[in-house]
């Protein structure tokens, strides 16, 4: 099974700038989905961004959200390269411009 990365173009002020759903049953790591979502929001290729580990430990991020155990956090938020990133336990990754 492949990972799904369905982008949602949202325009209302009350909705996020960009959101994707991570497929926990797919081959892609959650941290990879996060960096891809940030790159899409920034309009660049993922390798053009600073490494995610400069902001958050990708291994820790991947291990925090395991839907099969159900004991992870509801969400986690952090800022990476000027974007506010929120990762939810259901696999939703929201990327918005970070407040200044």
pLDDT tens sequence for the chain (100 residues) = 333 333 333 333 345 689 999 999 999 999 999 999 999 999 999 999 999 999 999 999 999 987 666 677 889 999 999 999 999 998 999 999 988 7
pLDDT at residue 49 in the model: 96
pTM: 0.80
**Residues 51, 33: Cα–Cα separation, whole Å:** 13
What is the side-by-side order of every strand in the sheet holding 83-88?
A: 8-9, 18-21, 92-97, 83-88, 75-80
């Amino acid at each position: 099974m492949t990972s799904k990365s369905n982008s949602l173009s949202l325009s209302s002020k009350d909705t996020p700038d960009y959101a994707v759903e991570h497929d926990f049953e797919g081959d892609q790591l959650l941290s990879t989905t996060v960096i891809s979502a940030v790159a899409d929001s920034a309009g660049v290729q993922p390798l053009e961004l600073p490494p995610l580990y400069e902001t958050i430990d990708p291994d820790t991020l991947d291990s925090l959200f395991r839907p099969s155990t159900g004991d992870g956090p509801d969400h986690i938020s952090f800022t990476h390269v000027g974007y506010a990133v929120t990762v939810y336990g259901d696999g939703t990754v929201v990327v918005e411009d970070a407040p200044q």
